[in-house]
Amino acid sequence: KVESFIGSDRKMKLGIMGGTFNPIHNAHLATAEFIKDKYNLDKVVFIPTGDPPHKKIILDKFHRYNMVVLSAMKNDDFFVSDFEINKKEQSYTVDTLRYIVETYPNEELYFITGSDAINQIESWKDFRENFRLAKFIGAIRPGIGILETQENVERFRNDYCADVDLVYVPSLEISSTYIRSRVMTNKSIKYLVPSRVEEYIYEHGLYKRGVSCNE
């Protein structure tokens, strides 16, 4: 939990990864671990979103949260925050970052995000404020145009004084959409998600048409 940072006496480097995590998959985890290592981050906090402004979510947010918790358990440096799923109103990244900065003013924040999200950042609420609150690390994601992303990153640096890096991560062409469609069509998701997440999905009958599918 983010809360465990109270009382730290040295400036910590805190990675933050927001997402719908519907469900969390190995590309999320590999990206977080790779960037934690590259930037010498002390921790990475996963923050599953509650009611995302850009997506219509039908799957219970607690299922999504539980799967993130199951995934983070095996890594001492991975934490999960329930800040957004417990909010009544829509959750926006800027509000979450403000909360973290206010609560933990000594942490250096690194917001980890895929290049698809980087390219959409200007549509986020108070997006300029996001750049003031955290350094942004954009993980190059397969299937997302690199040139377009590089151009955007350059523009963000020039126009908004944004501190944004674009980083190559071991290329994993996995998305939650792909996982959901494989479950729906009875195909294997082994090695695409942590085994505990795979078990959780089957145990709760998630992503089966007519049970708790979405989209």
Q: Shortest gap between Cβ of 172 and ligand ATP (angstroms)?
A: 5
Instruction: Note whether 194 binds ligand ATP by CB under 6 A.
Output: no
Maximum alpha-carbon separation in the chain: 51
Angle 12-73-31 (CA atoms, 0-180°, nearest 5)?
65
Q: Shortest gap between Cβ of 49 and ligand ATP (angstroms)?
A: 8
CA 113 from chain centre, in angstroms, equals 6
Cβ count near 129 (within 10 Å) = 15
Instruction: Note whether 174 binds ligand ATP by CB under 6 A.
Output: yes
| Contacts for 24 with CB less than 8 Å, ≥ 6 apart | 46, 64, 67, 68, 71, 176, 193, 194, 197
- Please give the residues from 74 up to 133 whose contact with ligand ATP meets the rule CB under 6 A: 113-114, 116-117
Q: Shortest gap between Cβ of 212 and ligand ATP (angstroms)?
A: 15
Judged by CB, which is closer to ligand ATP: 31, or 96? 31
CA 122 from chain centre, in angstroms, equals 17
Q: Shortest gap between Cβ of 160 and ligand ATP (angstroms)?
A: 19
Interface residues with ligand ATP (CB under 6 A)? Answer: 19-22, 27-28, 31, 113-114, 116-117, 139, 141, 169, 172, 174-177
